[in-house]
Amino acid sequence: MKIAVSREYDNIAQELSNKGFEVYLENEKNENYDVIICNLKNDDLIKYNFGNTYKKDGTLIIDKGSKSVNDIENIIKSREFNVKDKYEHNM
């Protein structure tokens, strides 16, 4: 799972990377991201330089807000579990 993080949250990117996630800062790599973490309360998603590097369907966008790294990790893991469970039921 590829995660993009806005540059204002480079500390979050580092902590998620330390937990074993594949994390890139905004504009660092041109990938199809599964998750985008940014600040939607103060800015619109268009402001960020993620370009067309996110999937058209199924990209999880997390508004950092007051969420801790553990909160974000739980959201991502829940998403991974739900996607995996949905895939296995459709086989």
Instruction: Note the pLDDT tens digit of each residue in 9-19.
Output: 999 999 999 99
Q: What is the count of structural domains for the chain?
A: 1
Residue the block writes with tokens 């739900």:
82
Left, alpha or beta for 31 (phi > 0: left; psi -120 to 50: alpha)? beta
Contact predicate 53/4, CB 8 Å: yes
pTM of the model: 0.76
The amino acid present at 91, given as its one-letter code, is M
Rounded Cα distance between 47 and 33, Å, is 17
Domain residue limits at 67: 2-89
Whole-number CA gyration radius for the chain:
13
Instruction: Note the pLDDT tens digit of each residue in 9-56.
Output: 999 999 999 999 999 988 777 778 888 898 877 665 556 555 555 556
DSSP conformational letter for 2: E
